[in-house]
């Protein structure tokens, strides 16, 4: 059988290698679960988050940096509580996330509120001490009186030329204010005796190079000089690219990014903001992507026209939307060696879209084998679906033990959530 890639299935022949230490870590955690727990399931661990946070802070030593946890990236209660217990703050972008942060025990002055159109839901929260980044002139009009009464600290979200709407596109996103709108809002705030203390921007996701951050900081500093504004906090948003992730052409997402280069950019930019007290970072994907895996079982195998299909009980449609534009490494249990051929790892849904991976894999993979898809620690819980299936089980490794923190959704859960019509 030919192993040549059919023209209708263009694919990189990049080998997505997993560092030995990483592979052993996940196999050690996953293997005991396979004897007693049905697939598919997610397994998340605090250990990679600890390691990423330590690497970040070691690389940025000497710089005034505060890391906010991005709630939307990983809505996982035990991880949120672990972060809170470290005394660290959280960033939210919706009413549900704000309610969850308060329920998890975060104090209002440890919560940063971002996102668009929040003047339609934020007024119903009466807590004092929030940090609120204004996204539009309409938000400024509606929220400034509340900020004055409730002692909220305000910031301005700038939309800068360095910002892209999507990782693969130069389209502009819908977020933030251009410099002229921001200048207008600043004048309106000052007339009411309010001086915003935070300058915020966000450049998109999986930003491949620190050069875009350098350009954004220069652009932001020019806006501040023109307005005579001296923010105390410069919030660089998130967007750092995650490790061990490749684009659909086989190029590493983090090919031109390094913590050391980012530290140099932040150090150089300090003088551009004369009253700077802290840089703020909201790098959810970079921090948590490596802290989770999706485990699925091969149910069936097909082969035609030089392409092998592994039909699994989990996949892109239900669990891994990011597989649309990212490629992640796969581990097999048991490990299979030998000749490789072009293989599509497909999920169980009746959707041609449901492709978890496409690459050259051992032909020894067979029904009953388990596949461990790495890099599942960011956005997967946020984007789960119930397309003809229930939600998967979720397990949490606290550094010592593994706990089931969400059981698999039953049919009764799936069907019974609908209210009967009288």
**Two structure tokens written together for 136:** 């539009």
**Residue 14 confidence class, pLDDT cut points 50, 70, 90:** low
Q: What residue segments make up the domains of the chain, in order of their start?
A: 20-44+290-416, 47-288
How far from chain centre, in Å, is Cα 355? 20
What is the rounded average pLDDT of the residues 54-61? Answer: 96
Closest CA to 204 of 246, 243, 247, 159: 159
User: Is 47-288 in the same CATH topology as 20-44+290-416?
Assistant: no
Q: How far apart are CA 286 and CA 241, in angstroms?
A: 6
What is the rounded average pLDDT of the residues 95-121? Answer: 98
Q: How far apart are CA 156 and CA 81, in angstroms?
A: 28
What phi, psi does 89 have (nearest 5°)?
-95, 170
Question: Residue 17 pLDDT > 80, yes or no?
Answer: no
Q: Which one of 3.40.50.2300, 3.30.590.10, 3.20.20.10, 2.60.40.3620 gives the CATH number of domain 47-288? A: 3.20.20.10
Q: For Cα atoms 150, 72, 354, give the angle at the middle one, nearest 5 degrees.
A: 155
pLDDT at 180: 95
Q: Tell me the pTM.
A: 0.93
Q: Under a CB-based contact definition with an 8 Å cutoff, are residues 123 and 142 in contact?
A: yes
Question: Residue 39 pLDDT > 80, yes or no?
Answer: yes
**Residue 167 confidence class, pLDDT cut points 50, 70, 90:** very low
What CATH number should be reported for the domain whose range is 20-44+290-416? 2.40.37.10
Share of the chain above pLDDT 90, in %: 86
Closest CA to 156 of 106, 224, 72, 216: 224
Structure confidence by residue, pLDDT tens digits, 136-156: 999 999 999 999 999 999 999
Structure confidence by residue, pLDDT tens digits, 377-410: 999 999 999 999 999 999 999 999 999 999 999 9
SS3 261: helix
Q: Under a CB-based contact definition with an 8 Å cutoff, are residues 265 and 258 in contact?
A: no
What is the rounded average pLDDT of the residues 289-316? Answer: 97
Q: How far apart are CA 241 and CA 207, in angstroms?
A: 6
Structure confidence by residue, pLDDT tens digits, 69-81: 999 999 999 999 9
Distances (CA, A) of 87 to 45, 84, 90, 111, 301: 19, 5, 10, 12, 49
> Across the chain, what does the average pLDDT equal?
93
pLDDT at 211: 94
Beta bridge partners of 374: 293
pLDDT at 208: 87
**Residue 181 confidence class, pLDDT cut points 50, 70, 90:** very high
Question: Residue 5 pLDDT > 50, yes or no?
Answer: no
pLDDT at 220: 97
SS3 37: coil
């Amino acid at each position: 059988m030919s192993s040549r890639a059919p023209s209708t299935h263009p694919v990189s022949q990049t080998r997505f290698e997993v560092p030995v230490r990483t592979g052993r870590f996940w196999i050690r955690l996953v293997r005991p679960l396979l004897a007693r727990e049905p697939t598919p399931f997610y397994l998340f661990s605090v250990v990679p988050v600890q390691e990423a946070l330590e690497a970040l802070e070691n690389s940025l030593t000497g710089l005034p940096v505060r890391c906010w946890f991005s709630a939307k990236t990983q809505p996982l209660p035990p991880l949120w509580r672990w972060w809170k217990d470290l005394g660290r703050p959280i960033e939210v972008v919706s009413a549900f996330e704000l309610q969850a942060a308060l329920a998890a025990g975060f104090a209002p002055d440890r919560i940063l509120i971002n996102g668009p159109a929040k003047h339609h839901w934020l007024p119903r929260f009466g807590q004092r001490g929030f940090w609120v980044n204004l996204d539009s002139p309409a938000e400024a009009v509606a929220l400034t009186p509340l900020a004055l009464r409730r002692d909220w600290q305000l910031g301005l979200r700038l939309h800068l030329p360095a910002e892209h709407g999507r990782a693969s596109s130069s389209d502009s996103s819908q977020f933030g204010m251009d410099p002229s709108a921001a200048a207008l809002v600043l004048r309106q705030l000052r007339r009411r005796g309010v001086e915003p203390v935070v300058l915020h921007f966000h450049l998109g996701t999986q930003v491949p190079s620190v050069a875009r951050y350098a350009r954004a900081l220069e652009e932001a500093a020019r806006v501040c000089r023109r307005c005579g504004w001296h923010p105390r906090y410069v919030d660089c948003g998130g967007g750092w690219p995650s490790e061990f992730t490749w684009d659909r052409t086989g190029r590493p997402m983090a090919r031109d990014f390094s913590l050391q280069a980012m530290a140099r950019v932040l150090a150089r930019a300090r003088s551009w903001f004369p009253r700077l007290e802290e840089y703020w970072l909201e790098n959810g994907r970079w921090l948590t992507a490596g802290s989770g895996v999706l485990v699925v079982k091969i149910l069936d195998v097909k082969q035609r026209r030089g392409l092998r299909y592994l039909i699994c009980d989990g996949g892109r449609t239900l669990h891994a939307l990011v597989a649309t534009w990212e490629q992640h490494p796969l581990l097999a249990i048991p490990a299979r060696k030998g000749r490789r051929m072009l293989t599509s790892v497909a999920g169980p849904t009746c959707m041609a879209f449901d492709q978890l991976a496409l690459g050259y894999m051992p032909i020894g993979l067979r029904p009953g084998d388990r596949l461990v898809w790495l890099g599942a620690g960011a956005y997967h819980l946020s984007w789960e679906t119930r397309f003809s299936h229930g939600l998967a089980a979720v397990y949490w490794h606290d550094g010592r033990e593994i706990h089931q923190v969400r059981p698999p959704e039953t049919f009764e859960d799936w069907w019974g959530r609908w209210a009967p019509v009288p």
